[in-house]
Amino acid sequence: MTWVKVDDALADHRKVRRLGKDRLPAMGLWVLTASWCGQQLTDGFVPAEVVERFDPRQKMATRLVDVGLWVRESDPEEGDGFRFHDWADHQPTRDEVERKRDEARVRMNRVRARRRADRANRTDPVRDDDPENVPPPVRANTPVNDDSTFSYPDPARPVVLLPENNTPPDGGVPRAARDTPAAVDNEASRQRRRAGRHTEMAKTARSGAAVRIVNAWADSCDHRPGPRVIRDLGVEVDQLLRRGWPDDLLARCVEAWASKGLGPSTFQSVASEVANRRPATPQTVTTRALAGLDDAFAEYERRHSSEVVQLPGRGA
């Protein structure tokens, strides 16, 4: 995969400003065709037929030529088209990309050979799902060194490289050894094995209080919940701790939540219900007396509703 670079000052470039009201459609055409050139490795040449996919009348292409972002050109193989101005000064050329791909292929073969040799010399069982046995991806258009197979996307701006020994000035861990995906995964796996159950919330719940509250509940269960439940519950508890909720209140909320048999995502709703629950208002003597009178009146109406009352009338 090839990366096409776009300067963060492009929007204010004088050539772009000269496009006027055509700035948005013309630069959209510029970006789309630049991506096509990077994929096809044409060194900035865009055939007319490709331009017409996005600009059938070549109106925006003509505007790009007028302001100097493109140049009309005819290729012996592709025919008439347009070429980006100074493409090689800002974008990787075909030769550079192919050279990096060849280097990546040789480097990957060397890495695989070293891993095969290491696996052959190992005496303990090898698991295919062990992160240490999965080689990190190696891409062509990315800088690497001889000590690491880590690759990262080519940035839009040049980065300040470390010295040849790849050691930071402060004497810390070399960047290539510290930031590789394999190194990060392996270190996290080792930490989980060493720390045990207390790392079930290490990636999300950072407060020690959340870990203590959730682990206290998990230890009280007959069957300890799975790590995903503990981790997700720890996140919810940690969020409320950061809002200033006291530890003892959250411990009661965890007990109330556990008694309902709900998932961790419902914890904050249960906690809000527990925290804002109001005590029942005691009934006064008058209230209880009136309630009893209403019940007696309702019972009287029920018993005598079927009786017919004979009123004295004429001729009685």
- Residue 195's pLDDT is 56
Chain segment 251-305, per-residue pLDDT in tens:
999 999 998 888 888 989 999 988 888 765 555 555 656 666 677 777 777 776 6
- Residue 291's pLDDT is 64
Q: What does the chain look like in DSSP terms, one character per residue?
A: -PPPP--TTGGG-HHHHTTGGGHHHHHHHHHHHHHHHHHHT-TTEEEHHHHHHH-TT-HHHHHHHHHTSEEEEEETTTEEEEEETTHHHHS--HHHHHHHHHHHHHHHHHHHHHHHHHHHH--S---TT-GGGSPPP--TTS--BTTB----PPPSS--PPP-TT---TTS---HHHHH-HHHHHHHHHHHHHHHGGGGGGTTT---HHHHHHHHHHHHHSSSPPPHHHHHHHHHHHHHHHHTT--HHHHHHHHHHHHHHT--GGGHHHHHHHHHTPPPPPPPPHHHHHHHHHHHHHHHHHHHHTTPPP----TT-
- Residue 182's pLDDT is 61
- Per the listing, tokens 């998990």 go with 218
Q: Give the number of other CB atoms < 10 A from CB of residue 201.
A: 23
Average pLDDT (17-34) is: 94
Give the CATH fold of the 10-90 domain.
Arc Repressor Mutant, subunit A (1.10.10)
Band of pLDDT at residue 167, cut at 50, 70 and 90 = low
Asked whether the predicted pLDDT for residue 204 surpasses 70, the reply is no
Average pLDDT (146-168) is: 49
- Residue 316's pLDDT is 45
Asked whether the predicted pLDDT for residue 159 surpasses 80, the reply is no
More confident position, 256 or 158: 256
- Residue 85's pLDDT is 92
Chain segment 299-313, per-residue pLDDT in tens:
777 776 655 555 555
- Per the listing, tokens 């075909």 go with 94
- Of these ranges, 2-6, 20-24, 174-178, 307-311, the one predicted with the greatest mean pLDDT is 20-24
Band of pLDDT at residue 205, cut at 50, 70 and 90 = very low
- Tell me which of 138-147, 223-232, 278-287 is least confident: 138-147
Asked whether the predicted pLDDT for residue 198 surpasses 70, the reply is no
Rounded mean pLDDT of the chain? 76
The Cα 205–Cα 233 span in angstroms is: 9
Asked whether the predicted pLDDT for residue 73 surpasses 70, the reply is yes
Band of pLDDT at residue 201, cut at 50, 70 and 90 = very low
Chain segment 179-197, per-residue pLDDT in tens:
555 665 666 666 665 555 4
- Residue 19's pLDDT is 94
Average pLDDT (52-64) is: 94
